[in-house]
Structure 1
Amino acid sequence: MKTELDWSRYRDQGMGDAYADIPKQGGDFAKAVSVCINSGVCQTQRRGLMCPSYQVSGDKRLSPGGRVGLLKQWLNQPEPTPQTASADLQYALEYCVACKGCQRECESNLDMALIKAEYLGQLRRPWYQRLNPRRALLAHLPKVLQRLPLLRPLIMWRNRSSWLAKLGQMLLAIPQALPLPVPSAETFKAQSSVYPADRGSGESARSVVLLLDSFTTLFNPQLADDAIRVLQAGGYQVHLVHPRSNPGELLDSGRSLLSHGYIAAARRQANKMLQCLQPHIEAGRPIIGLEPADLLMLRDEYLALGLGEPALALAKQAWLMEEFISRELRNGRFTLDFHPQQATQPAQPLIVFGHCHQKATGAMKAMRRVLKQLPGVEFQFLESSCCGMAGTWGLELCHHNMSQQMAETSLLPGLAAHPDATIISNGFGCSHQIYTLTGRATVHLASLLAQRLARS
């Protein structure tokens, strides 16, 4: 089997272990699958992040261990291809939301999200699979939305028209009952490529890069302004990189492409991103992102795309905004004072819902540290698995019912228990799912910090 991703870091996995049960085909990819030791924790644990589809279904095929067993059967075939995969394996991987819960909560750190990407990459090899209109649209969604601003009125029309929503379900398998997110009337427009710090001047160690993703610039441009403002107020010179930083092409992390198995296209996007960020990498500037799935793509999946030393260097400098501020707080470099709640006002209650990838990488600790800097705030983390949106996974008709069930297990009851709380959510898909199912808008951490600055 010729793999689409670089699995060389598993080269020594199971070597010399007669009980490693490494499949006969797949090379290092097979070794990545065989890290599972069949402890069964993924089938007994019914809380935490892993595994959302198993938690709502109870179907062992949809647990990480169940998927591993099916993958091993497939990789023990003489010539494993997606066309020879069993119906059970196809079903099991179709309902993996790539939350990375197993990568964190499994004692063997099984990376089922990346394993699924490899399988989909194998599946996309024939031309007719690459041209699958529904999958291709979702995979290329950031580029499509950036290139075609006229889609905004069409999306609005679709959301208001039952017959157009029904047509979309027939042609694109997007659930008729699910409202689609509408791009902002005024998308983000950078005023400069470098924003000076509010205090201090000149190029210094307090110079950072704010990397804006497509969804922030298209759907929530105010968030971009808020993040710039907070970093400036903290004394950081902000170098801005956004989807249109390179004239004539669109910069994107490639997350959507990878998630749908378009690995060659994702690699091309990643190379463009690396080329754009290279001067900042060489200058040692922290690279800060707002959307967890996009920023963490640079830190994790880029290492599997075979991009060499530049990707390794980037991974060491890539931070979610809450991680960066938390680090600076520990080092005594983030000294920004936030305006306290007025004494006549009650403490502002917050409920925090973490993106799956935030939870999987341990970034929620950083969220807690940063929120503690806000006087007069009472916050609580909502213990929940995946919201069910999982990028564009929840936009597909075949996933719709399970997507709703995932939200209903703990997310919706948890929010209902705090009807007056402000909801903090840094994930775009999570925020849309919450708004769709509850009618409650969410606030990104960066915007919350900026609101406190606005009262100063």
Structure 2
Amino acid sequence: MVKRLLDWSQYQDQGMGDAYADIPNHGGDFAKAVSVCIRSGICQESNNRRLMCPSFRISDDANLSPGGRVQLLKKLLNDSDNSFLTDRQLAASLEQCVSCKGCKRECENNLDMAAIKAEYLAQRRELGLSSLRSRLFAEFPYWLYRFAWLNNLIKWRNQSSVLKTIGASLVGINSNIDLPEPALTPYQDSPAQQARNEAWSGKADPMTVVLLIDSFTALFHPNHATDAIDVLTAAGYKVITIHPQTNASGELLDSGRSLFSQGFIDRAKQQGRALLAALSPFLAAQIKIVGLEPSAHLMLRDEYLMMQLGPEVQGLAQHSLLFEEFVAREKMAGRFNADFQPAACGTVLVHGHCHQKAVGAIKSMRKVLRLIPKLKVNFIEASCCGMAGSYGLQNEHAESSLAMANMALLPALDDMPQAPVVCNGFSCSHQIYALRGRKPFHLATLLAGHLKKPAKTPAHQ
């Protein structure tokens, strides 16, 4: 087998002494990770109203379920060492996996098909089985920083049916969906925020927090970062920011989510090591690392553990929290002291990102939303929105992306057409805007808009 790019050693004892494990002949610990499936069939329940599995739910095709993909993988890993990398049936099945992590949350044995797919894509890349489009999506945030003219190109493409048609035919980009357009100016620290960053003493302090601003937030929604700073500052915290352009060397600091999702594991590891080095002083002082974008930030306590980044990665996983998780925990601990005005927006709809659901962070969302007096909340019971990173932007997935959105998300939006929508996920928010023209709020923005006493020196001034 081609070298494995991820560390699968956590599965080394999987199936030992279990006559039903059916571990394939090839693949080592990777094969054991596939073999955690016990064929219970929970992933193939048509009436499953939970997260798992979007591609199966819209198709009713067993090969498009986690269990079906496992059976394909097992067969091919038994047949020969690397035939699974070129098998067309497996490629078609994994192509429809949206890496939502529903299986990791809801499968009895926590099958991680998203990680299995990442390894599969990485090994295919090693064989040269990759596309220009995959590189485009993988490097998307980095190219936007380096080539500012791309911002205008995206706007021209969205406004021109001719450019949409050209993009669909040449690169395979879905011509029915606008590409997300970057903000006029990416997030940058204000002078006041720079001063706060430089004032950190290097000592442990429960009222100091690092806000790690990912590239998607910084490029597309910098206001989410400034709103989060305002909320945390109003609650009494000293906020230190780390963002893509923090590194003085010019190397962009980011989690590497887009690289990882497209199978560029070596590049993702490079990004991970640079980010870990920047966060190392704060981890040594046991400062919490808070993030705003679920798919980007949750890498720090999930995929980073498989990327062999060094011993510090365990501490990073332990100290990394989503914004809503941090606020909920700090409120319970009696340290979060911001006051909020009663709601002025009636009922809000809340759509959770798949990775938020996979780690149980929706519970934290519920707790934090209760901080706003008289706020009425309606949580949308939906699986994947259908955008799933770049999935919905790919031409061949146009119909399935829309079908996923139509399962529950779009009907819920249409039932309450005037309700504000709270959504922390970048791709989810874009899907909602692209299909319904409604711009969701990040939870941080909703909270900032209801602060009784804004921070005395807002970070964005």
Q: TM-score range by the shorter chain?
A: over 0.9
Runs of 4+ in 1 over 3 A off after TM superposition: 81-84, 192-196
Partner of 1:148: 147
What's the CA shift for 1:175? 1.3
Compared CA separation, residues 33 and 452, structure 1 to 2 (3 A): same
Find the aligned partners of 1:129 and 1:140 in 2 and give their Cα distance: 17
Aligned to 1:372: 370
Return the alpha-carbon distance in structure 1 between the equivalents of residues 63 and 206 of structure 2.
Answer: 50
* 1:203-282 map, 5 Å: 204-247=205-248, 248-282=250-284
Q: TM-score, normalised by structure 2?
A: 0.94
Q: For 1:268-306, what per-residue CA distance to the aligned partner results, in whole angstroms no more than 9, with x for missing partners?
A: 111111111101111110000000000001110000001
The question of whether the paired residues in 1 share the 8 Å contact of 2:228 and 2:444 is answered with yes
- Matched with 1:117 is 118
Residue 404 (structure 1) aligns with: 402
Tell me, in whole angstroms, the C-alpha distance in 2 between the residues paired with 1:121 and 1:26: 14
With normalisation by structure 1, the TM-score equals: 0.95
Q: How does 1:298-447 map to 2 (within 5 A)?
A: 298-341=300-343, 348-447=346-445
Report % sequence identity: 52
Determine if contact 2:301/2:317 at 8 Å carries over to the other structure. yes
| Structure 1 SS opposite 2:377 | strand
- The residue type equivalent to 2:8 in the other structure is W
CA–CA separation in structure 2 for the residues paired with 1:340 and 1:407: 32
Q: CA deviation at 1:83?
A: 4.2
Measure the CA separation in 2 of the matches of 1:296 and 1:83. 28
Q: Secondary structure at the match of 1:15?
A: coil
Structure 2 vs 1, CA of residues 351 and 455 (structure 1 numbering), >3 Å: closer, same or farther?
farther
Give the structure 1 partner of residue 20 of structure 2.
19
Question: How many Å apart are 1:195 and its aligned residue?
Answer: 3.4
Task: Specify the code of the residue in structure 1 equivalent to 2:305.
Answer: L
Name the amino acid aligned to 2:214. D
Q: Aligned equivalents of 1:392 and 1:183: distance in 2?
A: 16
Cα distance change, pair 154–400 in 1 and its aligned pair in 2 (3 A): same
Q: Does the CA-based 8 Å contact 2:27-2:81 persist in structure 1?
A: no
Letter in 2 for 1:313: G
The 3-state SS of whatever aligns with 1:287 is strand
Superposition pairs of residues 56-205 of structure 1, within 5 angstroms: 56-85=58-87, 87-126=88-127, 128-129=128-129, 132-191=131-190, 192-193=193-194, 195=196, 204-205=205-206
What is the rounded CA distance, in whole Å, between the counterparts of 2:72 and 2:338 in structure 1? 52
Letter in 2 for 1:425: C
Q: CA deviation at 1:427?
A: 0.5
- Quote how far apart the aligned CAs of 1:34 are: 0.4
Aligned partners of 1:244 and 1:186: how far apart in 2?
13
SS of the aligned residue for 2:254 comes to: coil
> Which structure 1 segments of 5+ residues have no match?
197-201
Letter in 2 for 1:6: D
Alignment of 1:21-40 (within 5 A): 21-40=22-41
- Aligned ranges 1:35-46 → 2 under 5 Å: 35-44=36-45, 45-46=47-48
Letter matched to residue 299 of structure 2: M
CA drift at 1:108 = 1.0
For these two proteins, the number of residue pairs brought into alignment is 444
C-alpha separation in 2, matches of 1:246 and 1:77: 48
**C-alpha contact (below 8 Å) 1:349/1:420 kept by paired residues:** no
Matched residue, 2:51: 49
What's the CA shift string for 1:339-397, capped at 9, x where partnerless? 124xxx6x620110000000000000000000011002100110000000001111111
- 1:219 and 1:80 map into 2 onto residues whose CA distance is 40
Contact 2:204 2:286 in 1 (8 A): no
Deviations 1:97-118 (A, max 9, x none): 0000000011111000000001
Match of 2:450 among 429, 448, 452: 452
Residue by residue over 1:62-102, the C-alpha shift from the partner in whole angstroms, topping out at 9 and shown as x without a partner, is 001000000101111232244442x2211110000000000
Change in CA separation of 1:372 and 1:69 when aligned onto 2, cut-off 3 Å: same
Query: Cα RMSD over matched residues?
Result: 1.5
2-structure distance, mates of 1:83, 1:184: 39
Q: Where does residue 199 of structure 1 map in the other structure?
A: none
